[in-house]
Structure formats: structure tokens, C-alpha cells
Structure 1
Amino acid sequence: MKYGLVLTITTLFFLAGCGSSEVVTNLPPEERFAKAKQLFDDEDYLEAINEFTVITLQYQGSSVAADAQFYLAEARFMRHEYLLASYEYQTLKRNMGASSRVPEAQYKLGLCFYNLSPKSRLDQQYTKKAIDELQAYVEYYPNDARVGDATEKIRELTTRLAKKEYDSAELYATLDYHKAALAYYDNVIEKYHDTEYAPLSYLGKTELLMGRKKYREAKVEITRFLDRFPNSVLRSRGDKLNEQIDSELKSLPSVNDTTSGGASNSSNANLLRTN
């Protein structure tokens, strides 16, 4: 991974520069870690990163290796270097899976992508990645202390994805690209049915079908809305649309009438041919 290459090169330069410091270099791993941790606690994150990096490379099998890897990720997180921090958290998970730091590392990995997640109108790659990592945390560590916060963030991010789909539907509806608009409304309804944009999508789809005089299809959608969201704050709007649809349907010939009329016309045509 490219971030690993960057980190390795940086570390080699650092080690070369510190080779003359015998006092620091010869410290046992526990003391070296204590020194690095003090730098971290003093919010000297850049120097802490250098120290933790040395420990992870020189003392990989030591008792402080996992903690050093964790705090290396934490220092990058505190510097808002979220992509680099995500790499370090993943390294801890991958190489030190038995460490007690792994649950928190999984949670913080999700937070890295959460912090990188942009507004709904922009590309949502990091939003989806954040949901995946936070969901993994909730599933693997359901009793961990941060599950409630992770669940809330998943809900927030899912709503952001739903908003992007809904906004696209509304845009296409405004531009009279009806097929595309209906597809996006359906995406919201199917994928994000537990967000606030699901009832809005039912109503948007209903209104679009009404505008195209497809009242029978509109009736199906408004009925689903009323059944699934009986207590919605949008209920009054839904009731009005339902009344309008019923009024329009009364003025339409029934399916049986249409069929009978077609059969009658066919019979008349046959009689004319016979005569």
C-alpha cells in the first residue's frame, strides 16, 4: 500500500538522523514507549509519531508493540491525518489481532472515514467506507462501550446517502427525466426505507405519476405510503394526494368497461364485414 511505502521511507530517514543518540537508541522498549507516550500526552504528536514508529520497527515482538502501534495511529488521528491513521489502525488489526486495542482500533477506523465523509452532494466513497467499518465494529463487538455512538453515526451516514439519492430524484423530476427520477425514488424506498427520505420518495413518486396521468400506479404508491407511515408528519399531504387520485380515478373508465367496449367494437366490426 502506498501509505506503507511513505511511512517506511520516512522512518528510515528518521532512524538515520537519530543514530548518533546512543542514550535514546539504547533505551529498553518499555522506557522508549514511556517517552513516546509522554510526548503524546503533551500533544507533541509529530515527535510522538517518530518515537512510536521506531518502537513498531525495532521492538516488534515486545510487550509494548501493540500499544505503540495503537498510539501511532492515535497521533495521526489527532493530527487529522485520517487516511494515514486508518492505515495504522488497519496494521494493528492485521498484525496484532489478539491485542485488547483492536476493538477501539476498529471503532476509530470507522471514525477516520466518518471524518472524511463529505456533504451529500459530493462523492460518497468515504461515507460508504465509514458505514462498513462502523457496522463491522458493532457486529464484532456488540457489548463494547462505543456501540451506541457507532450506531448513531451509521444512522447519520445512511441518511446522508439517502439524501443524495433523493436529491437526484428531485433533480431529474424537475428536468422531466421521469424514468431516471422514478429509479432514484425507488432506490431510496428500497435501500433507505428507515430514513426520513423514504416517505418523501413515496410522495415524490406519487406526484410524478399523477403528473403523467398514471393514476392507477399513483394509487398503488400512495396506498403504500399510507400503510407504511400512518403517523408520518407528511400524512396530511398524503391524504390530499389520495383524495385527488380517487377523484381522478372516478372519471376514468373501469378496466371492465374498457374491455367490454373493446369486445363490442370488435363484434361490430365483424358484423360489418359479414354484411
Structure 2
Amino acid sequence: MYKFSSFIIFLFLIILTSSCSDYQKLLNNGTTLEKNNAANEFYESGDYRKAKNLYVQLVNSFKGKPQHQRLVFFLANCYFQTKDYYLASYQYENFVKSYPNSNRVIEATYMQAKSQFMLSPRFSLDQTETDKAIDLLQIFIDKYPNSEYTPEVNSYIQQLQEKLEKKNFEISKQYYTIRDYRAAINSIDNFIADNPGTIYREEALYYKFLSSFEIAVNSIIQKKNQRLKSTEKIYLNILKYYPESIFKEDLDEKIKIVNKELNNLN
């Protein structure tokens, strides 16, 4: 049994080596026709890495010829499928500029924007690529509002906007974490003003309350009354919009402290 398994593995390695050798020969010495046929076969079978390497050569060989349009589009698709989104975006853009009257131009414009969408990093990192993606996606919507891709593009824009909101909200929260409560309140106010429909509004108001609470209870006596009342106002505002707030238990506990402090001052 062991010898049989070893033989199968050995046979597989021989076939694999032979296959790789044949592919390398094709890349180095194959005719244009052979490369084109092989690239199309690899593409259709989903082996986009091998197809990509062949299409790179073919795109240069067919420049200025009718076949060039199809090759550029397929090369862009190969880059996308192999997750090389920078080059995918570049090639889709190149296709749109080179062939503005192609029946694939809407799809290529969409795929360029989608490639840029895929380059958007997690919220904690620099969001330059996210801003670029939103711009490209919005351009697509403006240009092709009735496209079959429009619902998906709108979804991408929403996801990216929420990512930017989360980044900005986390910056505001960070002020609370480092106990710079005044900066936290100012930052949260700006965040809510800039993002009135944000999904983080309830949590933002909660952190504004916490920051105001910390300032109030630790204030000197001359400023305490006013600051406690400001904290109470934030509390009432939260319950006005979120009567069943997920933070209600903590809010209620802290407002008891606020009320007790106010009673002690009177």
C-alpha cells in the first residue's frame, strides 16, 4: 500500500513538472496563435494566473489590431480574478479610454470602480483608497443611473461611507479613551453634524454623555451646577430619540449620580 501511494505521488509530480515545463515553453517560444488559444483555454477553465501571463504578451503583440480590445478586457478580468486590484483597475480604465464605443464599456467602468472598492482597507487604516472608490462609484452612478449594476454600486457606496463614518467615530471615541473629554464632546458634535443619518449616532451621543458626566462630576463647585444640568440635558436628548437605548441601564445609573449631585448643591 505504501509503495503504491509513493508511486501515485511520484507519477503526479512527473505530470505536474511536465505540465509546468510545457507552459514555460509556450510562454518563451510559443507562436502567437498557440499562446492565444492556450490563454483562452486557461481563461475558460478558470486558471486566470496562467491566462494572465499569456494575455500580457498577447496585448503587446496585437496592439492596433481588432483583437486587442478583447485581450485588454480579458487581461483586466484576469488581474481582478487573481486579486491584483491595482492592475485590474488600471487595465479597465485603459480599456474604457481606448474603446469608449465598445459594448463592454459599461461593464469595464463598473469593474474599474469595483476594483477600487476592493482596494479599500479596514477602517483603522488610511482611507485614501476608499475616497477614490467612492468617487469612481459615484461617477458610474451619474453616468449610468439605470444600469443593471446600479443597485450593487449603491450598496458599495453605502458600505464605504459607513466605513468612513466608523473611522471618524472611532477617532471621537479615542478622545474619551484618553480622557480628553472636552475634545471628545467637540469631536462628537462635529461627527453628528457631518453624518446626521449615521448608524453610530446613538453610541456617539452615549459617549458625549459619558464625557459630559466626567467633566461635571469632577468640576469645581462654581461650575458644577451648570455642567451637571448640561449632562442631564444630553441624557434627556438620548432618551427622546432612543427610549429603549442599549445603553439605558448605564445612563440611568449615572443620571442618579447627577441628580444626587444637583440635590447636594441646592
TM-score range for the pair, normalised by the shorter chain length: 0.5 to 0.7
Contact 2:73 2:108 in 1 (8 A): yes
What is residue 4 of structure 1 aligned with on the other side?
A: none
Instruction: Give the superposition deviation at 1:173.
Output: 0.7
Cα deviation, 1:143-175, whole Å, max 9, x if unaligned, reads 222222222222222222222222222221121
Instruction: Give unpaired runs (5+ residues) of structure 2.
Output: 1-23, 217-226
Q: 1:245 to 1:72 in 2, by over 3 A?
A: farther
| Residues 188-197 or 69-78, more deviating | 188-197
Task: Judge conservation of contact 1:114–1:127 (CA < 8 Å) in 2.
Answer: yes
Runs of 5+ unmatched residues, structure 1: 1-13, 254-275
Q: Which moves more between the two structures, 210-219 or 37-46? A: 210-219
> C-alpha distance in 1, partners of 2:244/2:114?
32
46 and 199 in structure 1: CA distance in 2 versus 1, 3 angstrom threshold = same
Q: 1:181 aligns with which of 184, 187, 190?
A: 184
Q: Which residue of 1 aligns with 2:87?
A: 84
Task: Give the alignment's TM-score, normalised by structure 2.
Answer: 0.68
Q: 1:58 aligns with which of 36, 58, 61?
A: 61
What is the alpha-carbon distance in structure 2 between the residues aligned to residue 216 and residue 224 of structure 1? 12
User: What's the offset of the Cα at 1:236?
Assistant: 5.2
* Match status 1:126 vs 2:129: yes
Provide, for residues 88-137 of structure 1, a one-character-per-residue CA deviation record: whole Å limited to 9, x for no partner.
12212232222232322232223323333333223323333322222222
Residue 102 of structure 1: aligned partner = 105
- Cα distance, 1:100–1:163 mapped onto 2, change above 3 Å: same
Q: Note the 1:10-21 alignment, pairs <5 A.
A: 18=28, 21=30
Contact 1:203 1:238 in 2 (8 A): no
Q: Which residue of 1 aligns with 2:20?
A: none
Distance 1:224 1:100, change over 3 A: farther
* Aligned counterpart in structure 1 of residue 42 of structure 2, from 11, 28, 39: 39
Amino acid of the residue matched to residue 64 of structure 1? Q
Q: Deviations over 1:29-67 (max 9, x none)?
A: xx9756533221122323322332344323334333222
Identity score, percent: 25
Write the letter of the residue equivalent to 2:113.
G
The match for 1:161 is: 164
- Superposed displacement of residue 180, structure 1: 3.2
Which amino acid in 2 is paired with 1:98? N
Within 2, Cα distance between the matches of 1:226 and 1:67?
Answer: 59
CA–CA distance in 2 between the matches of 1:35 and 1:143? 37
CA distance in structure 2 between the aligned counterparts of 1:145 and 1:241, rounded to whole angstroms: 52
Contact in 2 for aligned 1:33/1:64 (Cα 8 Å): no
